[in-house]
């Protein structure tokens, strides 16, 4: 967490965030993926292999009460928006600039251990 990740063009890297402990909440993690140019690529591809952050309750302002993920481009004005709940299958994101910034925030864990509300596994690679 709170790091910048680089890579070589065409090589795929895996990253997993582990479920935080109760005493570490609220949990905030910023992941920056940067294509450094040349053999290090010009754009970033991120694949969400497994994603559960909090729960989705509604399309209102407080629709992600337990936590969320936001994605921003470092060279662009943030436009807002957040994702929460569970994804269905792999989801791909491509940057429009050289860097993508993922911010993950978890406010609270599920009350019972069977109701996990945090799972975050991705793959990323740099493209030319």
**Cβ-contact 5, 91 below 8 angstroms:** no
Q: Structural domain boundaries of the chain?
A: 3-127
Q: For 82-108, how does the pLDDT look when each residue is reduced to its tens digit (9 = 90+)?
A: 899 998 888 999 999 999 999 999 999
46 beta partners: 93, 124
Helix (H) or strand (E) holding 63: none
One digit per residue, pLDDT tens: the chain, 128 residues? 999 999 999 899 999 999 898 899 999 999 999 999 999 999 999 999 999 999 888 887 788 999 999 999 987 887 778 899 998 888 999 999 999 999 999 999 876 655 578 999 999 999 99
CATH topology of domain 3-127: Jelly Rolls (2.60.120)
Six-digit token string for 60: 């209102």
* Among the listed residues 73, 66, 44, 54, the one whose alpha carbon sits nearest the alpha carbon of residue 120: 54
Against a cut of 0.85, is the pTM above it?
Answer: yes
């Amino acid at each position: 967490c709170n790091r910048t990740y680089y890579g070589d063009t065409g090589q795929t890297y895996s990253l997993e965030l582990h479920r935080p402990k109760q005493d570490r909440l609220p949990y905030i993690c910023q992941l920056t993926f940067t294509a450094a140019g040349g053999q290090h690529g010009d754009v970033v591809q991120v694949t969400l292999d497994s994603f559960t952050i909090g729960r989705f309750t509604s399309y209102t302002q407080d629709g992600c009460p337990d936590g969320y993920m936001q994605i921003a481009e470092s060279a662009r004005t943030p436009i807002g928006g957040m994702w929460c709940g569970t994804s269905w299958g792999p989801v791909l994101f491509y940057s429009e600039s050289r860097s993508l910034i993922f911010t993950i925030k978890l406010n609270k864990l599920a009350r019972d251990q069977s109701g996990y509300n945090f799972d975050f596994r991705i793959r990323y690679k740099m493209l030319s």
